[in-house]
């Protein structure tokens, strides 16, 4: 029998009905993991899960807003009920709200904080509690963004939440390390997804021009980094923020 990297592993991927989360969930399943796909859009979660199953993967859908405590506790219980345990969490669900700083509204901030920070924090807590109870370690990866590392127009609030996640994983090495759970963020730069192409039809052209590697990332670029960071090969990597951006954050403004 073919020996797959994530055979016998159980993974939750939040915000995985499409985009980066879906690409990661699909590849984890191809590599042998049993995967729970979450999305706030329940139909999308089911469609995504069905597609993975049709391709031979083991997958179940859990629809619901993953920033609500009952869904956070529910998804961990669901994974354990369906697959018996939890080994990997990809806390990927996040929203991007653009806005001029001087006009930015409290309601936008509340939703942003609820999903990107509150939701991610408590999903990480719920997954950790389960892994600690099981007693055989695990792996947690949170999706951050380069806008938490470098200034970007209209993304002050969003960038602030992602910088918070980068610091969260550093803090949590103290709590998770003794339980053999490693935790990191992956930090995508501009990445081609259905969403980014809809938000900006010139996305490919603009990011190809300003990215040192000559192109924005694809979801495959992000998947490769993500699978490494939740694999046995990265167990000693903890509290790190791995940037995947074709070099964009390394370039300063030219002095002319
Ligand atoms: N695409 C990029 O260029 C880029 C760059 C840096 C970081 N990121 C981050 O990557 C992650 C995924 O981004 P994407 O581009 O794939 O986005 P996307 O919008 O294509 O997909 C995100 C999915 O998450 C779901 N979702 C949103 N809020 C949710 C909630 N509260 N509960 C459950 N599901 C929810 C959406 O319905 C959607 O299907 C996000 O955290 C985002 O901030 C993306």
Instruction: List the domain range (segments joined by +) for residue 40.
Output: 10-191+219-244
162 given a catalytic annotation? yes
User: Does residue 115 sit within a domain?
Assistant: yes
User: Does residue 131 sit within a domain?
Assistant: yes
Q: Give pLDDT, residue 183.
A: 98
Q: Can you list the alpha helix ranges (DSSP code H) found in the chain?
A: 19-30, 42-54, 69-83, 106-112, 120-134, 156-176, 194-199, 203-210, 219-229
- CATH code at 62? 3.40.50.720
| Binding site membership of 57 for ligand 1 (Cβ less than 6 Å) | no
User: Does residue 148 sit within a domain?
Assistant: yes
User: Does residue 210 sit within a domain?
Assistant: no
Q: Give pLDDT, residue 17.
A: 98
Per-residue pLDDT of the chain (256 residues; tens, 9 = 90+): 578 999 999 999 999 999 999 999 999 999 999 999 999 999 999 999 999 999 999 999 999 999 999 999 999 999 999 999 999 999 999 999 999 999 999 999 999 999 999 999 999 999 999 999 999 999 999 999 999 999 999 999 999 999 999 999 999 999 999 999 999 999 999 999 988 989 889 999 999 999 999 999 999 999 999 999 999 999 999 999 999 999 999 998 776 6
Give me the number of domains the chain comprises: 1
pTM of the predicted model as reported, rounded to 2 decimal places: 0.97
| Binding site membership of 221 for ligand 1 (Cβ less than 6 Å) | no
158 given a catalytic annotation? yes
User: Which residue's CA is minimally distant from atom 24 of ligand 1?
Assistant: 15
* Interstrand relation of 58-63 and 88-91 (parallel, antiparallel or unpaired): unpaired
Q: Give pLDDT, residue 227.
A: 98
Given the residues 139, 162, 203, 234, select the one marked as catalytic: 162
Q: Give pLDDT, residue 2.
A: 73
In angstroms, the CA 39 to CA 132 distance is 25
User: Does residue 64 sit within a domain?
Assistant: yes
User: Does residue 90 sit within a domain?
Assistant: yes
User: Does residue 109 sit within a domain?
Assistant: yes
User: Does residue 196 sit within a domain?
Assistant: no
């Amino acid at each position: 029998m073919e020996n797959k990297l994530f055979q016998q592993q159980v993974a939750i991927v939040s915000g995985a009905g499409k985009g980066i989360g879906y690409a990661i969930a699909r590849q984890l399943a191809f590599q042998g993991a049993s995967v729970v796909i979450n999305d706030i859009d329940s139909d999308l979660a089911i469609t995504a899960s069905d597609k993975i199953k049709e391709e031979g993967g083991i997958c179940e859908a859990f629809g619901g807003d993953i920033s609500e405590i009952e869904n956070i506790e529910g998804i961990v219980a669901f994974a354990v009920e369906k697959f018996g345990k939890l080994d990997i969490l990809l806390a990927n669900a996040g929203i991007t709200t653009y806005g001029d700083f001087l006009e930015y509204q409290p309601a936008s901030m509340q939703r942003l904080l609820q999903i990107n920070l509150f939701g991610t924090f408590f999903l990480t807590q719920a997954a950790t509690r389960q892994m600690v109870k099981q007693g055989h370690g695990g792996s947690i990866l949170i999706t951050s963004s380069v806008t938490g590392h470098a200034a970007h127009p209209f993304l002050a609030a969003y960038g602030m939440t992602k910088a918070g996640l980068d610091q969260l994983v550093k803090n949590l090495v103290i709590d998770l390390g003794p339980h053999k759970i490693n935790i990191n963020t992956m930090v995508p730069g501009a990445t081609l997804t259905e969403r980014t192409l809809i938000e900006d039809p010139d996305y490919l052209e603009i990011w190809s021009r300003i990215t040192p590697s000559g192109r924005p990332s694809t979801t495959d670029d992000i998947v490769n980094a993500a699978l490494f960071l939740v694999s046995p090969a990265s167990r000693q990597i903890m509290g790190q923020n791995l940037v995947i951006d074709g070099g964009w954050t390394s370039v300063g403004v030219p002095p002319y």
